[in-house]
Amino acid sequence: MNKIIIATKNAGKLKEFKAFFEQYDMTAYGLDELDKQFDDVEETGTTFEENAALKAETIAGFLQVPVLADDSGLEIDALEGRPGVYSARYAGEAKSDQANMDKVLEELQGVPAAERTARFVCVLAVSQPGKETFYARGHVEGVITEVPQGEHGFGYDPVFQPEGYEKTMAQLEPAEKNQISHRKQAMVHLEKWLNEQAK
Ligand SMILES: O=c1[nH]c(=O)c2ncn([C@@H]3O[C@H](COP(=O)(O)OP(=O)(O)OP(=O)(O)O)[C@@H](O)[C@H]3O)c2[nH]1
Ligand SMILES: [Mg+2]
């Protein structure tokens, strides 16, 4: 069975990648599953592309094998696109999902439903030794709810209601989220590229 290394320490993302790659008979491994332990790659970029490349290229450079990285986040229109690339640490370095959601809900207090539009964005970067980095971008539109609902997923899923649904991302079954998510949309582009590489 083929293996793919994902340059992530986020357990929620990794779970979704494991499910995606299983469909291609591939096993995805996160950084916490490798023998060698890596320090966090500093996400100094100002775009999802820059940060995804930083993570993929740093780890591929060390391991000398192809590595996939994901940089993702939530863009809220009423907050001029925040938290954006700072989604993981919006409420501080502790990277607390609960504190991040609380902060967003507080900032949106009094903002009417029609103005609570937002999107999840995901950029995947694949770095291969000696080759140019490949990028795939995906997004899903939705609105930020008034209160968190649901137990599945991670991050801001309990306050994000995707367009066309009456449920939050966290109320959808994981398989359902994986059919519509920003990560899935980016994976569709990645899959096309992989198929072209195999020709
Ligand atoms: O509700 C959510 N559902 C999702 O599907 C999702 N995808 C991303 N996010 C948020 O955006 C941050 C990414 O930041 P990020 O790309 O730097 O990842 P991270 O720091 O958590 O892990 P790593 O991959 O860098 O190791 C995450 O922490 C989350 O807060 C999501 N929230
Ligand atoms: Mg990160």
Residue 57 is predicted with a pLDDT of 98
Nearest to 64 by CA among 134, 131, 136: 131
Provide the mean pLDDT of the chain.
Answer: 96
Half-sphere exposure in the Cβ direction for 94 (13 Å, CA): 6
166 pLDDT above the threshold of 90: yes
97 pLDDT above the threshold of 70: yes
DSSP secondary-structure letter at 1?
A: -
* 75 C-beta closer than 6 A to ligand 1: no
87 pLDDT above the threshold of 80: yes
pLDDT tens figures, 3-34: 999 999 999 999 999 999 999 899 999 999 99
* 155 C-beta closer than 6 A to ligand 1: yes
120 pLDDT above the threshold of 70: yes
- Mean of pLDDT values over 88-97: 95
178 pLDDT above the threshold of 80: yes
97 is in an annotated binding site: no
Q: Whose CA is nearest to atom 29 of ligand 1?
A: 155
Q: How confident is the model at residue 198 (pLDDT cuts 50, 70, 90)?
A: confident
196 pLDDT above the threshold of 80: yes
- Mean of pLDDT values over 129-153: 97
Residue 24 is predicted with a pLDDT of 86
Do 36 and 14 meet the contact criterion of CB atoms below 8 Å apart? no
Active-site positions read 71
What's the gap in Å between 109 CA and the centre of ligand 2? Answer: 27
Do 175 and 184 meet the contact criterion of CB atoms below 8 Å apart? no
Q: Whose CA is nearest to atom 12 of ligand 1?
A: 88
Distance CA 30, CA 45 (A): 22
Rg (CA), the chain: 17
1 pLDDT above the threshold of 80: no
Domain boundaries, the chain: 2-198
Assigned CATH topology for domain 2-198: Maf protein (3.90.950)
Atom of ligand 1 nearest to the CA of 90: 30
- Mean of pLDDT values over 61-87: 97
DSSP assignment string, 46-101: SSHHHHHHHHHHHHHHHH-S-EEEEEEEEEEGGGTT-BGGGGGGTT-TT--HHHHH
193 pLDDT above the threshold of 80: yes
Residue 199 is predicted with a pLDDT of 80
Amino acid found at 168: T
18 is in an annotated binding site: no
- Mean of pLDDT values over 134-143: 98
Percent over 90 (pLDDT), the chain: 94
Distance CA 18, CA 95 (A): 22
71 is in an annotated binding site: yes
Nearest to 76 by CA among 142, 147, 137, 157: 142
- Mean of pLDDT values over 163-185: 98
DSSP secondary-structure letter at 198?
A: H
197 pLDDT above the threshold of 80: yes
